Amino acid sequence: MENILDKTIKETRDLLRKKELTAVELTSFYLDRAKRYNEDLKAYLRMTEDNALEMARDADRRMEQGEDSPLLGIPFGIKDIFCSKGVETTCASQILKGFIPPYDATVIKKLKDAHFIHLGRLNMDEFAMGSSTENSSYQTTKNPWDLTRIPGGSSGGSAAAVSAGLCAAALGTDTGGSIRQPAGLCGVVGMKPTYGRVSRYGLIAFASSLDQIGPLTRNVSDCAVVMNAIAGYDPMDSTSIPQPVPDYTECLGKDIKGLKIGIPKEYFIEGMDTDVKKTLRESLSVFEKQGAILVDVSLPHTEYAVATYYIICTAEASSNLARYDGVKYGLRSEGKDIIDMYKKTRMKGFGKEVKRRIILGTYVLSSGYYDAYYRKAGKVRTLIRRDFDEVFKDCDIIVTPVSPTTAFKIGEKMEDPLTMYLSDIFTIPVNLAGLPAMSVPCGFDAGGLPIGLQIIGKPLEEALMLQTAYVFEAERCVKKMPDAFR
Amino acid sequence: MKITREVVEYVAHLGRLDLEAHEVDLYTEQLDRILQFMDTLNKLDTEGIEPTSHAIPVECILREDFVKDSLEIEASLWNAPERKGNFFKVPPIIEVEE
C-alpha cells in the first residue's frame, strides 16, 4: 500500500479499475496516515471521516456498476475556505467557528460530481491572510521537511498534507502566492490558474480581484487531472471566463523544442539565498538541454508589486469582511446596541493579522486617501500588467524562483509584518496581472529544504505551462516526499 | 509619523472594530511603517494611466430573468446566532424613547 504514495492519480485509478484496490481501502489508508501524522504536522483542522467512508462506499458501488471517471474514489484534502454543504467551514477563524454552509462551492460540486473523496479540512492562515499558516486561529502547521519550520501560506495545510502523503491531492487558493509559495516550500506542485478560469462561487472571499482556486499535488500529471475537473465557466461567478476548457492531460509528454523562455533579471536579486539562485540556474540548463531557448527579459515594475498588492488586497478585504457582523452566521458578542455588537463581535472573532489588514484597507479607502493609495495602486497595477504583455510578445513562458528563500523558522517573522509581506515578492506580480502560474519542485538547499521553480504563462495557457513542467519534472527527478513520512 | 493613535482609532471605528489600548499602540507603529513603504509608489509617474480593477476584463454578462429555487428558509437560518420565527434577531437599531 505504501507505494500508492509514489503513484499518480491516473495510476491509482488504474488499480481501482482493475479491482486491485477499493476506494474504501484507499480512503482508510489516507485516513490512517492522517491520524498517525497529524498530531506532529497539524495540517488538518478536522477530519470528515464518516463522510469520507460513505463517499468511498458510494465510489466502490459506482465502480461495481462500471462507472469510470478520472477522480472517482480519489481522496482529497480541502482547504477550510470552500463552502461545503453540511461540513463545518471556518477559514481558520474564530468568527466562523461552527459555521455549516447550506450550499456547495462550485469547485466542491464539481469534485462531488466526479465522485472524489472528501477526507477533511486543511489548515490555513485566517481568511487566507498570511505567508506561513501561523495566522490560523487554531494551530500552527509544520513543514514536513523540517518540523521547526513553517510550511508557507496561506495554503500551508494543503501543501504539508500533500507533501507528507496525507491525501492524494488538495485544493488551495492563491491571492498573492498562497498556492505557489507553500507548494514551493513543501516541495510539491501547485497551480494558480488564470483569473476567471476556475469559479470562485462559494469560496470565502479575501480579495476578489486577485483570489483564484487551484490544485496542490505530488506531480504535474495530477495537477492536470485536477485542473480538468475544476476549470470552466460558471454563471454563478460574474468574473468567470466563458471559454472552453482544453484537456490539460493531452499536452503531457510533448517536447519543448524551440520554446522561448523569458528569464526576468528582476527575479534574481540581492538578498536571495545563494542555494536558491544556484539551484534555479542549474534548473534553467535542464530547459536548454531539452531544446528551449532562454531569453533575458525585464519586468521593470517588479519592485513596486508588493506595495501595490498590499493596498489592493487590504482594501478589498476590508470590504469583503464587512459581512462578519454577528447577524446571519458565526460568532456574536453581546453589545449595548447594534454598533457595539458589531464592534465587540469583530474584536473577539478576528485575529491580529486580519484586524491589521481591515484597518489598513479601511484607511486606504477612506475619504481623502482613496486617490493617493487605492487609485494609485490601480494605476501601478496597469504598469505591472503591461510589463508582462511586453515580455510575452517575444516569449512563450517566463521562469523564475517561487520565493527568495527556503522555509523559515516558526515564529521568525511573526513580529514583523512587512518582512513577512516581502516573502511573496516573486508570486504577487502574477496575481496583479491575472496570469496563470505554477510552482514545480526543482531541488533542495544545503539543509535539505525544498526549492520551487515558478512557471508563468500567458492568460489561459495553462496547458503549455503543464507541458513545460512535465518535461522538467521528468528530467530533473526531484525527490517528492520527506523520508520521515515514509 | 503619518499615523497617530487617533487615526487608528477613527479607522477602527469605520471598520467596526473595538481595539484594546495595546492594539492601538501596536497598529499605530506598524501601519506607519507599512504606509511609508507604500509611499514608494509615489516615485512612479502614473499621469494618464488608467487604473486596472480586474486584470482579465470580462464583459457584463446578461442572462434571462427567470424564476428558480433559492435556498430554503431553514437552510438560510440554520447558522443564525439568534432568530425569531423566520427572521434573524438583532439588538435594537432605533432608540425608542419611553
Mean pLDDT of the A176-182 span: 98
Q: Give backbone dihedrals phi and psi of A101, rounded to 5 degrees, phi first.
A: -60, 140
Q: What whole-number distance in Å separates Cα of residue B61 and Cα of residue B52?
A: 19
State whether CATH 3.30.565.10 applies to domain A2-258+395-415+424-485: no
What is the CA A221 to chain-centroid distance, rounded? 17
Per CB-CB distance under 8 Å, the chain B contacts of A307 are 37-38, 40-41
Catalytic one of A42, A79, A110, A458? A79
Portion 73-92 of B in contact with A at CB < 8 A: 75-76, 78-82, 88, 90-92
As a whole-number percent, the residues of chain A with pLDDT over 70 amount to 100
Task: Report whether A222 contacts A168 (CB < 8 A).
Answer: yes
CATH code matching the domain that covers B5-42, chosen among 1.10.150, 2.30.30, 1.10.20, 1.10.357: 1.10.20
pLDDT digits (tens, 9 = 90+) for A53-84: 999 999 999 999 999 999 999 999 999 999 99
Cα angle: A407, vertex A408, A411; to 5 degrees: 140
Beta bridge partners of A146: A143
Q: How far is A49 from chain B (nearest CA, A)?
A: 23
Q: What whole-number distance in Å separates Cα of residue A66 and Cα of residue A57?
A: 14
What is the CA A27 to chain-centroid distance, rounded? 23
> Which grid cell sits at A264?
526576468
Contacts of B40 (CB under 8 A, 6+ apart): A303, A304, A307
Contacts of B54 (CB under 8 A, 6+ apart): A195, A209, A239, A434
Per CB-CB distance under 8 Å, the chain B contacts of A337 are 91-93, 95
pLDDT digits (tens, 9 = 90+) for A374-404: 999 999 999 999 999 999 999 999 999 999 9
Give the amino acid at A17.
R
Mean pLDDT of the A356-363 span: 97
Q: Does B41 touch chain A (CB under 8 A)?
A: yes
Residue B79: closest C-alpha in chain A: A329
Q: Which pLDDT value is given to residue A102?
A: 97
Mutate to test the interface with A, among B41, B63, B70 (most CBs of A within 10 A): B41
> Between chain A and chain B, how many beta carbons pairs sit less than 8 Å apart?
172
pTM over 0.80: yes
- Residue extent(s) of CATH 3.90.1300.10 domains in chain A: 2-258+395-415+424-485
For helices A23-41 and A9-17, angle between their N-to-C axes, nearest 10 degrees:
140
Residue A98: closest C-alpha in chain B: B79
Q: Cβ A363–B76 below 8 Å, yes or no?
A: no
Residue A318: closest C-alpha in chain B: B15
Q: What whole-number distance in Å separates Cα of residue A100 and Cα of residue A89?
A: 6
Based on C-alpha coordinates, what's the Rg of chain A?
21
pLDDT-derived band of residue B2, with 50, 70 and 90 as boundaries? confident
Q: How far is B52 from chain A (nearest CA, A)?
A: 5
pLDDT digits (tens, 9 = 90+) for B21-62: 999 999 999 999 999 999 999 999 999 999 998 888 777 778
Contacts of A288 (CB under 8 A, 6+ apart): A294
Higher pLDDT, A154 or B57: A154
Kindly provide the ipTM of the predicted complex, given to two decimals: 0.94
For helices A305-320 and B21-38, angle between their N-to-C axes, nearest 10 degrees:
140
